[in-house]
Amino acid sequence: MLNIVKVAEPEDIKKFKKKHKPQNWDDFTPEIKSGIKKNILENEQTVNGTQLCVYCERKISTENSHVEHVRPKALHKFPNLFDKYENMVVSCDLKNTCGNYKGSEYDEKFIHPIENDPADFMTYNFATGKIVNKNDSLKERVDYTCEILNLNGCRELIEARKTILIQLNSSVDEGAGFIDYVEEFYSLTEAYKSEVLNI
């Protein structure tokens, strides 16, 4: 999961809210939603030149992603946060992980990508490609977060991380610089650098 540093809310979105006083997320026009997404992707979720899903860190674009309310905007959760820019990130559109999988599930155990630095909580098992807690006291929060996003249960995701790990391992053996070319899975690459390569 990425750690998101929010930038200021764009003026056109502020103006839209002031003028139209939206009452729920459906009152935002497709153009405004798309502007929000583009702004977040470009300014908050571009890592080494590549736009990544906040949760799974796969490569995304405005075409295959959606605005994700970290604290769900569902009526029984946090309906007042539907228009709060500080609560918005961008998730991939895959059905079996991330924002779509999470739906309106949430409690305060969730590792919040804006309020927490996920790297303080999570690292990886470099053999299995699965996310693991950094220490036992964090297990409950890491397990809950991975469970509601399905970050350890999605086979394609695990296989994709393992493919990167195989390439990283062979790159190290051969002295090649593959690590500089990894586009997806930023936190995996960073954990590998610090824990395996000690750099």
DSSP state of 10: P
Candidate segments 3-11, 12-20, 50-58, 135-143, binder of Zn ion by CB under 5 A: 50-58
Specify whether the CB–CB gap between 61 and 38 falls below 8 A: no
DSSP state of 75: T
* Residue among 55 and 186 whose Cβ is closer to Zn ion: 55
Candidate segments 42-50, 87-95, 168-176, 178-186, binder of Zn ion by CB under 5 A: 87-95
Does residue 52 bind Zn ion (CB under 5 A)?
no
| Residue 54 tokens, joined | 């906040």
Candidate segments 98-106, 136-144, 171-179, 186-194, binder of Zn ion by CB under 5 A: 98-106
Closest separation in Å from C-beta 102 to Zn ion: 10
3-state secondary structure of 1: coil
Among 2, 70, 89, 92, binds Zn ion (CB under 5 A): 92
Burial of 5 (0-12, 13-18, 19+ CB in 10 A): exposed
Closest separation in Å from C-beta 97 to Zn ion: 5
Contact partners, residue 160, CB within 8 Å, separation at least 6: 58, 184, 185
Among 53, 88, 160, 164, binds Zn ion (CB under 5 A): 53
Cα–Cα distance between 52 and 68 in angstroms, integer?
A: 13
Candidate segments 47-55, 118-126, 168-176, 187-195, binder of Zn ion by CB under 5 A: 47-55
Residue ranges binding Zn ion (CB under 5 A): 53, 55-56, 92, 98
